[in-house]
Amino acid sequence: MRGKIFGKPIITKEEMRKRIKILGQQITEDYADKDLLMVGVLKGAFAFFSDLTRAVRLPLHVDFLIVSRAKAKGRSPGRVKIISDIAKDLSGQDVLLVEDIVDSGETLTFLKKKMIERKPRSIKCCTLLDKPKGREVDVAIDYIGFSLPDQFVVGYGLDFEDKYRNLPYIAVLDKISERAKKP
């Protein structure tokens, strides 16, 4: 790795482990008599999703989808697009959509709308990180790991230029290249 460009953890591995255990207990209680399908939003949610599914003490189904945000002029990252969709039929399912981070709210709003069109019995959302100050679209989040100020963070699945996903904690970047500051 060339030069250190990330800072000290703002959320440690141990803090995440404890919070995920609590989230897993809440989800287990809430879905005790339901047929739970957990849908992970990749790539960012892979670490959180993996740990969270193991913390849920129920038989459950898992599936994944990959989304991207097309670059657009201005500050907003642009239109949300599904790159790889889930394989499971959602009709009659109790769906828990699992995100890494909710910032503007646009991606989660888009995904909820797409999932609702498939007629699940219920749909709820879970995110490891919530940045409410960055919210542009009001979206309900049923399970939140941590709320953060408006900072650019990496680690535990979150990336900068497709790096740092493997950090076992969440950190604020000490330096962000000019490319990251541009939309």
Using one digit for the tens of pLDDT, what is the confidence trace for 82-120?
899 898 899 999 999 999 999 999 999 999 999 999 999
Whether 77 is covered by a domain: the verdict is yes
Mean pLDDT in residue range 39-63? 96
Work out how many domains the chain is built from and give that number.
1
Residue 64 belongs to a domain: yes
Looking at per-residue confidence, does 13 or 181 come out higher? Answer: 13
Alpha-carbon gap, residue 51 to 58, rounded angstroms: 14
- Dmax over CA atoms of the chain, in Å, equals 51
Q: What is the C-alpha radius of gyration for the chain, rounded to an integer number of angstroms?
A: 16
Asked about 51 being catalytic, the answer comes back as no
Full residue range of the structural domain in which residue 80 is found? 6-181
Report yes or no on 60 lying in a domain.
yes
The pTM (predicted TM-score) of the whole model is: 0.87
- Name the pLDDT band for 53 (thresholds 50, 70, 90): very high
- Which among 51, 100, 103, 130 is annotated as catalytic? 103
- Whether residue 33 is predicted with pLDDT greater than 80 in this model: the reply is yes
Q: What CATH number does residue 26 fall under?
A: 3.40.50.2020
Q: Is residue 1 part of a domain?
A: no
Is position 126 within any domain?
A: yes
Q: Could you tell me if 154 and 160 are in contact, meaning their C-beta atoms sit under 8 angstroms apart?
A: yes
Q: How confident is the model at residue 177 (pLDDT cuts 50, 70, 90)?
A: very low
